[in-house]
Amino acid sequence: MEYNKLNPMEYQIMILKGTERPFSGLYIDNFDKGLYLCKQCNTPLYKSEDKFESDCGWPSFDDEIEGAVKRQPDADGRRTEIVCNNCGGHLGHVFEGEGYTDKNTRHCVNSISLNFEPHKVEEDRAEAYFAAGCFWGVEYYFQRREGVLETEVGYMGGHKISPTYEEVCEGNSGHAEVIKVVYDKNRVGYEDLLKLFFEIHDFTQIDRQGPDVGEQYRGEVFYNNDDEKALAEKLIEVLKSMNYDVATKLSPKSEFWKAEKYHQSYYNKVGGVPYCHSRKKIF
């Protein structure tokens, strides 16, 4: 993976694990709404709503985006270092038990390790919902697509209210494993997301994806409106013209039930690559 080029000061902090001078950072007093990204690889690390004023001299957060930040022993043997879980770039240190917030946690982060991306106005943001097998692997690829702002995995298309993972796996709830994609319409279009959807799974399989078998692993596009449905139908016709037997279902969006915390950003937490998904260029 190609990372952003760091200037000498950024290299000193992120690679050589230095520390910027207190009260000198760009984001100490920034409380605009948005996301804080890794300076080296652009991975979203922190949400603005988790930032608080600690008067410690560096930006402080009491929570991270699930799976984005890795903790490890610091070289001094006393503190806990935090690094970007994607590229390993040094962020700062994490402290607990100080009582600043109800979460009792303070991520003390160098501003120079971060970029800030303000929230887009609502008309620039949109949501898309896809089922393409195990949602761990599907999320892995969508998180790496330019223009995708946020992702969540969950369940859709069934009849049970607030299903659990175990209930979905039993095959009695009717739900599919689904990814919710929040994207910037100025940077990526719905049709582009559809193309990625088709390229990262085998859309000819029915109620399965690779070794995973069951209706929860079915391929399905949950569209928000007729325009999205028409785009999906257009691409399906293109695939059929290439002699693919397309098994993908098209259904109107229904209630999205967010999956359990340990499923969110799974591969960002455990590392590695999906076992049942890979990308095959088609379009």
Q: For 173-273, list the strands marked E by DSSP.
A: 176-184, 208-209, 212-213, 219-223, 249-252, 257-258
Active-site choice (38, 108, 169, 276): 108
Active-site choice (56, 84, 87, 134): 134
CB-based burial, 87-101: b 16+ in 10 Å, e otherwise: bebbbbbbbeeeebe
Catalytic (active site) residue 41: no
Distance, CA of 106 to CA of 267 (rounded, Å): 24
Strand-pairing partners, residue 118, are: 34
Please enumerate in sequence order all residues whose Cβ is within 8 A of that of 243, keeping only pairs 6 or more positions apart, or say none: none
Catalytic (active site) residue 108: yes
Distance, CA of 142 to CA of 147 (rounded, Å): 10
Please name which of 58, 68, 66, 61 lies closest in space to residue 22, comparing C-alpha atoms: 58
Distance, CA of 121 to CA of 149 (rounded, Å): 13
Strand-pairing partners, residue 128, are: 181
Query: 181 — alpha (psi -120 to 50), left (phi > 0) or beta?
Result: beta
Residues marked active site are found at 108, 134
